Structure 1
Amino acid sequence: MPNSSSYRLRDFGSYTAGGRIAEVTTGTPRRVNFTRTASLEVDPRGHFAIEHAYVQYFLPEARNAEPPVVLLHGGGMSGSCWDKTPDGRPGWLQMLLALGYEVHVVDNVERGRAGFAPGHWQGEPLLRSMEEAWTLFRIGPREGFTSRTPFEGQQFPAGQFDTFARWFVPRWLTTSGVQADALLAVLERTGPAIVICHSQGGEIAFDAHRRDPARFAAIIALEPSGYPDDAAELSATPTRIIAGDYLDADPAWIGRRAAWSALASGENVTFTEAPDIGTGNSHMLMCDRNAREILDLALTF
């Protein structure tokens, strides 16, 4: 008997969305050793394709009648966070396909397979440390990092935290505008879609929604780190904001929770958190042990 994540694909592939051609007119050519036996002259001047998103799409054979789903990762992450959980369970990508959804998984500008272009954006790329992720993502207390001792009742598979850390990718802090551009380019291709966004991806999704709300069939925001100031912006778009547990671990999370709750006073916006989604959830809700239950709740408008 097939399990809850079984599916057959009618088609899958990839494409890029958005971006521009940038011309560089300064710099000096130099010779570079690409391998032990291959030395070539590299000219920093020229034309470069930048600021596009890389997207993988999946069309299940048993396609449902719902709008397509676009999965948008958070800061310092790529689309790989939706594939599987760190301990090897099916991720939201596989679950959605088993439910019959067409799914588009985004690696946004300067993340993952979208590639990055040093020198074209202000600032330097940052790579999140494991210590920062341990506390920021509310896996466990700071003093528990060395022994990998999580919060009591933690749903995140803390025993695979080191595997999870291999998903981290460098990020710039000045590319939000072009990331929103790229998301809108994705939605131009898919048509109105259910956008499931996580953390910093929430800021990108809400910024894009402000510019062109008609491209959004719905928004499911997992602990968005950016959000509208006015709930009226979302009045025409079914929106669900979902938060995990341990939000009192840091003042920043307390402030965000208050903002999420305030948005839920608006028409068409729902805010759901522990214990209604369960208890012990981390910031990485799609990786937690009750991820399937959270997804089922998220898709109920």
Structure 2
Amino acid sequence: MTYSLSDFGSYWAGGEVLCVTEGAPREIAFTRDARFTYDPRGDFAVNAAYVQYFVPAQAVDAPPVLLVHGGGMAGSCWETTPDGRPGWLHRLLDAGRVVHVVDLPERGRAGFAPGHLPGEPILRSMQEAWTLFRFGPAEGFADRTPFAHQQFPVDALEAFARRFVPRWQGTAHLHLAAFLAVLDRTGPALVICHSQGSETAFDAVATNPNRITGLIALEPSAFPDDPAALETCPLVIVQGDHLDSADHWRTRADRWATLADELPDARLIDTAHEVASGGSHMLMMDRHSDQVLEATLGHVRV
């Protein structure tokens, strides 16, 4: 895989200025040799999305691709797999696509303002990831015994867990506002989202359908409030394997199938049958991730 870039960089999109009037100045040490008076009051720029963009030298004539991470993750999930293979970012660039990798507010390099967000943040454990993402049964965690034909590189579980970031609950409205600002910057785009990122993507289609030329949702954990809002948006839903491992996965799989059936321009890709068995919730990191991307893009006309 070889490609050249004509441009790359980063920007922040959306956000707001928050005026804080409560609190009192106090002296703090910010290194072992330096102290200064910190004032928690003032104007703070918060709730923007951080975006890194890449433009291939031989870019194809197609809308840019926006990559949107899932819950407790950041844009790094699209860059390199936990076992060191090129991620979907690199594969898309190799195919000549302009790519924007999004860190939604309070995730990754977008940063967070802990005193100005609702509640306390949570951080995912490796045990939770093991079962929730369908790497293997709970009793298999200690010795890393996965489900049969598992495609996720379980030997790289710790490397994967280093990518986990704190997440706050109740910030969906902040994600949507920032993502709409990203779309204002990029213009019409193909959106590839994962898990919780589907909530932001579905809401963006409902709010501004002309900005999204197509939507690829990897195992979405949210569903559109009004499916009819997606009737003019090409939609591809992609699912992995071992969906019978928990009731909530069986329920989601049924809803994915129903949503795909309801919409005139929607397609459900069952990777266990159309690509290979053993796909996890982290389809863009699995060993067959290249084949999953190829199969997925084959159903997108933009």
Q: State the TM-score, normalized to the length of structure 2.
A: 0.97
The one-letter amino acid of 2:177's match is: D
- List 4+ stretches of structure 1 deviating above 6 A: none
User: Cα offset for 1:229?
Assistant: 4.4
The one-letter amino acid of 1:22's match is: L
Whether 1:277 and 2:275 are equivalent positions in the alignment is: yes
Q: 2:292 aligns with which of 284, 291, 294?
A: 294
User: Cα offset for 1:125?
Assistant: 0.6
- Give CA deviations for 1:238-279 in whole Å, capped at 9, x if unaligned: 110000000011111111111110011111111111211321
SS of the residue 1:232 aligns to: helix
SS of the residue 1:19 aligns to: strand
Give the match for residue 76 of structure 2. Answer: 80
Whether 1:199 and 2:198 are equivalent positions in the alignment is: no
SS of the residue 2:183 aligns to: helix
- Give CA deviations for 1:191-230 in whole Å, capped at 9, x if unaligned: 1100000000011110111111111010000001011144
Contact residue 139 and residue 156 of structure 1 kept, 8 A: yes
Percent identity reads: 56
Contact residue 110 and residue 171 of structure 1 kept, 8 A: yes
Give the match for residue 227 of structure 1. Answer: 223
Q: 2:59 aligns with which of 60, 63, 74?
A: 63
SS of the residue 1:252 aligns to: helix
What is the alpha-carbon distance in structure 2 between the residues aligned to residue 176 and residue 231 of structure 1?
18
Q: State the TM-score, normalized to the length of structure 1.
A: 0.97
The one-letter amino acid of 1:275's match is: H
Which one is further off, 191-200 or 116-125? 116-125
SS of the residue 1:119 aligns to: helix
User: Cα offset for 1:66?
Assistant: 1.2
Which one is further off, 271-280 or 129-138? 271-280
- Give CA deviations for 1:31-85 in whole Å, capped at 9, x if unaligned: 1111111011110000001000000000000100111000000000000000010
- Give CA deviations for 1:174-200 in whole Å, capped at 9, x if unaligned: 110110111111111111100000000
Whether 1:170 and 2:177 are equivalent positions in the alignment is: no
Give the match for residue 133 of structure 1. Answer: 129
What is the alpha-carbon distance in structure 2 between the residues aligned to residue 213 and residue 120 of structure 1?
31
The one-letter amino acid of 2:287's match is: R
Give the match for residue 185 of structure 1. Answer: 181
Contact residue 206 and residue 227 of structure 1 kept, 8 A: yes
Q: 2:86 aligns with which of 78, 84, 90?
A: 90
Unaligned runs of 5+ in 1: none
Give the match for residue 40 of structure 1. Answer: 36
Contact residue 86 and residue 161 of structure 1 kept, 8 A: yes
Which one is further off, 66-75 or 230-239? 230-239
What is the alpha-carbon distance in structure 2 between the residues aligned to residue 207 and residue 249 of structure 1?
29
Give the match for residue 109 of structure 1. Answer: 105
Task: Count the aligned residue pairs.
Answer: 297
Q: 1:249 aligns with which of 245, 252, 256?
A: 245
Give the match for residue 2 of structure 2. Answer: 6
Computed over aligned residues only, the root mean square deviation of the Cα atoms, in angstroms, reads 0.8
